[in-house]
Amino acid sequence: MNACVIAVVNQKGGVGKTTTVVNPAAGLAELGRRVLIVDLDPQGNATMGSGIAKQALQQSGYQVLLGDATIEQARQPAKQGGYDVPF
């Protein structure tokens, strides 16, 4: 199976990055595609928008970047939508 990576990046806040990521992720997951959102925003809006309480997480994307955790350890299933999010 071919993998596709889509990046949504903008330094300015309030430009719709979270909406642009979360909604298509849920749609692609509904079509049976494997989807992983990597939320590197310190506010964690994509994580929270996916129904995940970021304060309760043991591992995060920060630990993954430092090499202290793997994506598998940090990923969390979205409460709805069928995709995973490591914050």
**Confidence at residue 85, expressed as pLDDT on a 0 to 100 scale:** 76
Give residue limits of the domains in the chain: 17-86
Taking only the tens of pLDDT, the chain with its 87 residues reads: 678 888 888 888 888 888 889 999 999 999 998 888 888 888 888 888 888 888 888 888 888 999 999 988 888 888 877 887 765
DSSP-assigned states of every residue in 20-86: HHHHHHHHHHHTT---B-----TT-HHHHHTT--GGG-SS-HHHHHHTSS-HHHHEEE-SSSS-EEE
**Confidence at residue 1, expressed as pLDDT on a 0 to 100 scale:** 62
